[in-house]
Amino acid sequence: MSQETNPALTTIFVEDRATKRRLRKARLVVSEGPDRGKDLSIERERITVGRSVICDMVLADKAVSGTHFEVVANEQGFLLRDLDSTNGTFCGASASSEALRVREVWIKPGATIRVGQTQIRFEPVQGTVDIDLSSDDRFFELVGKSVRMREIFATLAKVGPTELTVLIRGETGTGKELVARAIHRASRRTSSPLVVQDCSAIPKELIESTLFGHERGAFTGATDRHRGSFEQADGGTIFLDELGELDLALQPKLLRVLENREIKRVGGDRTIPVNVRVVAATNRDLRQMVNEGTFREDLYYRLSVVQIDLPPLRERPEDVPLLVEHFLADVASRRWPGEARRFTITTEAMTRLQAYPWPGNIRELKNTVERAASLADGTELGVRDLLPSSQKTPPVPLPGGNAEKFVEEGLPFKEAKQRVLDAFEASYLKALLDKHGGNVTRSANAAGLTRYHLRELAKRYGIRDTGE
Ligand SMILES: Nc1ncnc2c1ncn2[C@@H]1O[C@H](COP(=O)(O)OP(=O)(O)OP(=O)(O)O)[C@@H](O)[C@H]1O
């Protein structure tokens, strides 16, 4: 992958402090194909092109996938990334040169992109777009000083007080629930309830009645009338966590609530109006699921009015010191209430924490720091105290048998489940890739995963593949 030197995003500093980001404008122009003449100005950090209405540039070409490719602007340039399209994305320096099928490539002005029967030119445009950064290092309970987090804080400050539906995307432990809480607290709904509903934690047959409630006698065991999460959240906010796990059959019902703001209890025929703001989160790429037909396009369209992409902690190590300080102060105030005693941490230990990739993100960092501080004899923490849990303890053996241990340790359900899942995903992927000689295409086919999803997982667990 050859790299462009001209950054698409530049950070502007005032006296050592990043104050805003500047995006170099560019545009995509369709030069051949059914949509000839269509163009899209790139004025955001990420744009998607494909046949689906959820895309920023919608193409009519039948040989183009639902979400075909994206262009991401960052400090290195504009990155073109194929989104696991069926017919591939091809790129050449100009229309006449031989185009190469690409998975990820830095594109330069004048580059020609071919998808299906369509040819698109990538062109520079005069001018820039300024992206605001918050001047604060926190937003309600969220802490972070990195440019990416302060950009998110600025967005949250803007969308919080509105009624807009928000979709939060991020790996596990990146703070999606905390973002949802912050949105609720920044809204005018803050004196009404925030109802948190983890869609992956409810058995399939109960999800409809959990969300929308049921009438007495609606099904065996429904001895009383039950108000669902939407009714409970009336006047407030509902946070639908792990939305990617929501059964396809239930998705039209959720869509109806978003469109009409009314629900029907299971076993009832009365429509009940609900005044609820919806914030949803997922650790999956829902665009990809739309492409695969496992997530409804119209529902995604409704949900993604505002999208917040939470970066993994390994991409913002500059946030680690502030987070560590925040968690240590928390433990100190619990351990020595009313006293000024504080924990400190050696420079070497902090450097190690910043260098570690944190697959469990902030949740893992928080647990590591809190455990070390709770067990420490003194107030200075060194490298030995702070070895991340995953480096200290042997990998968790697969399910069964361990549940009692988790409970005994007082591990929250979510975290215990995550540990087992992580261990499973890592060993499954490793075995899968080993079996297929590191070949991604064959491994993905054998496991019924998309190449894109498989590569994302491999990246997360630091498992090497051949890239084929
Ligand atoms: N920016 C942050 N500042 C302070 N604490 C944070 C931040 N982000 C996450 N945390 C803490 O890390 C833990 C995990 O956060 P949270 O539950 O919001 O993550 P999540 O993305 O919703 O995880 P999952 O996908 O597993 O549901 C929580 O204890 C939360 O308080």
Compute, in angstroms, the gap from residue 363 CA to the centroid of ligand 1. Answer: 6
Same domain, 45 and 181: no
Tokens of 81: 């990334």
Compute, in angstroms, the gap from residue 380 CA to the centroid of ligand 1. Answer: 25
Angle between helices 361-375 and 413-435 (to 10 degrees): 120
For residue range 113-151, list pLDDT tens digits in order. 999 999 999 999 999 999 999 999 999 999 999 999 999
CA-proximal residue: ligand 1, atom 8 (nearest): 175
Angle between helices 320-335 and 347-355 (to 10 degrees): 120
Same domain, 378 and 408: no
Closest CA to 159 of 183, 136, 191: 183
Of 309, 338, 372, which residue is a domain's last?
309
**Structural domain total, the chain:** 4
Compute, in angstroms, the gap from residue 401 CA to the centroid of ligand 1. Answer: 27
Is residue 285 a contact partner of residue 66, using CB atoms and an 8 Å limit?
A: no
Give one word for 187, left, alpha or beta, with left for phi > 0 and alpha for psi -120 to 50.
beta
In a domain, 198, yes or no: yes
Of 131, 149, 172, which residue is a domain's last?
131
CA-proximal residue: ligand 1, atom 13 (nearest): 363
CA-proximal residue: ligand 1, atom 27 (nearest): 172
Rg (CA), the chain: 24
Same domain, 50 and 89: yes
In a domain, 398, yes or no: no
d(CA 452, CA 104): 11
Closest CA to 381 of 331, 347, 337: 347
Residue given tokens 């104050």 in the structure block: 19
State the closest ligand 1 atom to the C-alpha of 178, by its place in the atom list counted from 1. 18
Supply the CATH number for residue 343's domain: 1.10.8.60
CA-proximal residue: ligand 1, atom 29 (nearest): 363
Compute, in angstroms, the gap from residue 176 CA to the centroid of ligand 1. Answer: 6
Sequence-ordered alpha helix ranges (H) in 402-450: 403-409, 413-435, 440-447
In a domain, 278, yes or no: yes
State the closest ligand 1 atom to the C-alpha of 241, by its place in the atom list counted from 1. 27
State the closest ligand 1 atom to the C-alpha of 180, by its place in the atom list counted from 1. 18
Compute, in angstroms, the gap from residue 126 CA to the centroid of ligand 1. Answer: 40
Q: What are phi and psi of 72, to 5 degrees?
A: -115, 130
pLDDT at 220 over 90: no
Same domain, 13 and 83: yes
Same domain, 119 and 147: no
- pLDDT of 371: 85
CA-proximal residue: ligand 1, atom 30 (nearest): 175
State the closest ligand 1 atom to the C-alpha of 198, by its place in the atom list counted from 1. 27
Compute, in angstroms, the gap from residue 73 CA to the centroid of ligand 1. Answer: 26
Residue 79 belongs to what domain range?
9-131
Mutate to test the pocket of ligand 1, among 168, 283, 366 (most ligand atoms within 8 A of CB): 366
Q: What is the three-class DSSP state of 248?
A: helix
For residue range 301-328, list pLDDT tens digits in order. 999 989 999 999 999 999 999 999 999 9
379-to-373, 375, 386 alpha-carbon distances in Å: 8, 10, 13
For residue range 155-207, list pLDDT tens digits in order. 999 999 999 999 999 999 999 999 999 999 999 999 999 999 999 888 888 89
- pLDDT of 234: 97
Mean pLDDT value across the chain: 89
Mutate to test the pocket of ligand 1, among 145, 146, 178 (most ligand atoms within 8 A of CB): 178
pLDDT at 447 over 80: yes
In a domain, 286, yes or no: yes
CB atoms within 10 A of CB 336: 12
Same domain, 433 and 343: no
State the closest ligand 1 atom to the C-alpha of 181, by its place in the atom list counted from 1. 18
Pocket around ligand 1: residues whose beta carbon is below 6 Å from it? 142-144, 170, 172-178, 241, 283, 323, 326, 362-363, 366, 414, 418
pLDDT at 390 over 50: no
**What torsion, rounded to 10 degrees, do the Cα atoms 297, 111, 105, 33 define?**
30
Supply the CATH number for residue 304's domain: 3.40.50.300
- pLDDT of 414: 73
CA-proximal residue: ligand 1, atom 26 (nearest): 172
Same domain, 15 and 64: yes
CB atoms within 10 A of CB 271: 12
pLDDT-based confidence at residue 8 (cuts at 50, 70, 90): very high
Compute, in angstroms, the gap from residue 71 CA to the centroid of ligand 1. Answer: 28
Of 386, 419, 446, which residue is a domain's last?
386
In a domain, 4, yes or no: no
In a domain, 207, yes or no: yes
User: pTM of the full predicted structure?
Assistant: 0.82
CA-proximal residue: ligand 1, atom 23 (nearest): 173
Compute, in angstroms, the gap from residue 361 CA to the centroid of ligand 1. Answer: 8
Compute, in angstroms, the gap from residue 56 CA to the centroid of ligand 1. Answer: 30
d(CA 265, CA 248): 19
Same domain, 210 and 283: yes
Same domain, 231 and 289: yes
Same domain, 152 and 230: yes
Tokens of 361: 């993100």
The whole-number average pLDDT for the span 444-467 is 77
In a domain, 62, yes or no: yes
pLDDT at 1 over 50: no
- pLDDT of 126: 92
CA-proximal residue: ligand 1, atom 5 (nearest): 142
d(CA 401, CA 38): 59
Higher pLDDT, 167 or 456: 167
For residue range 67-113, list pLDDT tens digits in order. 999 999 999 999 999 998 999 999 985 545 577 899 999 999 899 99
State the closest ligand 1 atom to the C-alpha of 174, by its place in the atom list counted from 1. 21
Residue given tokens 């696991």 in the structure block: 84
Same domain, 378 and 435: no
Tokens of 280: 């949803």
What ipTM describes this predicted complex? 0.99
Compute, in angstroms, the gap from residue 366 CA to the centroid of ligand 1. Answer: 9
- pLDDT of 202: 85
- pLDDT of 94: 52
Is residue 201 a contact partner of residue 183, using CB atoms and an 8 Å limit?
A: no
For residue range 291-304, list pLDDT tens digits in order. 889 999 999 999 99
Q: What is the three-class DSSP state of 297?
A: helix
Is residue 111 a contact partner of residue 118, using CB atoms and an 8 Å limit?
A: no
Compute, in angstroms, the gap from residue 334 CA to the centroid of ligand 1. Answer: 20
Supply the CATH number for residue 442's domain: 1.10.10
- pLDDT of 398: 47
DSSP letter at 54?
T
d(CA 66, CA 53): 8
CB atoms within 10 A of CB 307: 14
Same domain, 324 and 265: no
Compute, in angstroms, the gap from residue 158 CA to the centroid of ligand 1. Answer: 21
For residue range 257-284, list pLDDT tens digits in order. 999 999 999 999 999 999 999 999 999 9
In a domain, 53, yes or no: yes
State the closest ligand 1 atom to the C-alpha of 366, by its place in the atom list counted from 1. 12
